[in-house]
Amino acid sequence: MGRYAKITGAGQYNPERLITNEEIDEMFGAGTGDMIFNYVGAKTRHVMSDDENTSDLAVKAAQTAIKNANISAVVIWIVRFPCKNSSVKKT
């Protein structure tokens, strides 16, 4: 019998903090929020708070995936966490 992998559940987590296109305008200049809306249709977006890391979001998403799969975390052999952002806070 060969080895195989199976996806049994998926999860996601959106940070609680929302920023609006008006806030984007304040940060990057007038019209930036409108440009974003025209390209992707987004009026708000979820962003991490200053005390959150990408790994914090991943843990919450993994907890949702485990619940959706109706399994125990102890049966998980490997977790893939591809991320281009570091989870290490710079001081």
pLDDT digits (tens, 9 = 90+) for 55-91: 888 889 989 999 999 998 888 777 777 766 666 555 5
Token duo for residue 24: 């984007």
Residue 19 — φ and ψ, nearest 5°? -120, 150
Question: Residue 31: which region, alpha, beta or left (left: phi > 0; alpha: psi -120 to 50)?
Answer: left
Nearest 5°: the CA angle 12, 83, 53 is 70
Structure token digits, residue 73? 């975390």
pLDDT tens digits for range 26-44:
888 888 888 888 888 889 9
Measured distance CA(70)–CA(66) in Å, rounded: 6
The pTM score is: 0.67
